[in-house]
Amino acid sequence: MPDKQTIEKAKRDKTAGKSASTQAGEFVKAEMDKIRSGKTGARSAKQAIAIGLSEARRSGVDLKPPVKGKTSEKTRKSAKSAYEKGQRQEPISATRSAASQKAMKKEGTAAASTKALSRQAGAAAQRRSAADRSASAKKAARTRAQRGR
């Protein structure tokens, strides 16, 4: 279950007009912090990110499930379910949450290491086209704060 601070940060991002993926990033960051501190664990960086995105969807962030062909049918179905529950503001079951926390505690903490996240980011970038990466970099430069330039 996400903590109140994370939900507040995501709400602040929403009122500032930031994208759904930026709002979801708060949940992913919180998940990485939980893994690093040993409160929970994950088998891989990909799983850790997926947990954060799922928490974001369940908390009502308007992060649409991936389109057909992007991910497996199982992942799409899970994301769709989390998204719909979040949009309906359905409460998160404390029993299921506790059970998943207990299971995740048994996993390692290496998934949130700098090396693992770097490897995941590199692999994700490789799956994108050169034009897509270029467009993303140009947008980042365009939207960067003035003092950062």
Query: 142 pLDDT band (50/70/90 cuts)?
Result: confident
Q: For residue 4, which amino acid is it? A: K
Residue 14 belongs to a domain? yes
Residue 117 belongs to a domain? no
Exposed e or buried b for every residue in 13-38, given b needs 16+ CB within 10 A? bbeeeeebeebbbbbbebbbebbeee
What is the count of structural domains for the chain?
A: 1
Residue 148 belongs to a domain? no
Residue 128 belongs to a domain? no
- Give the number of C-alpha atoms closer than 13 A to the C-alpha of residue 84, restricted to the C-beta side: 6
Residue 60 belongs to a domain? yes
Question: And the tokens for 133?
Answer: 């990466």
Its domain, for residue 104, covers 4-112
62-99 tens-digit pLDDT: 999 999 988 899 999 999 999 999 999 988 888 988 99
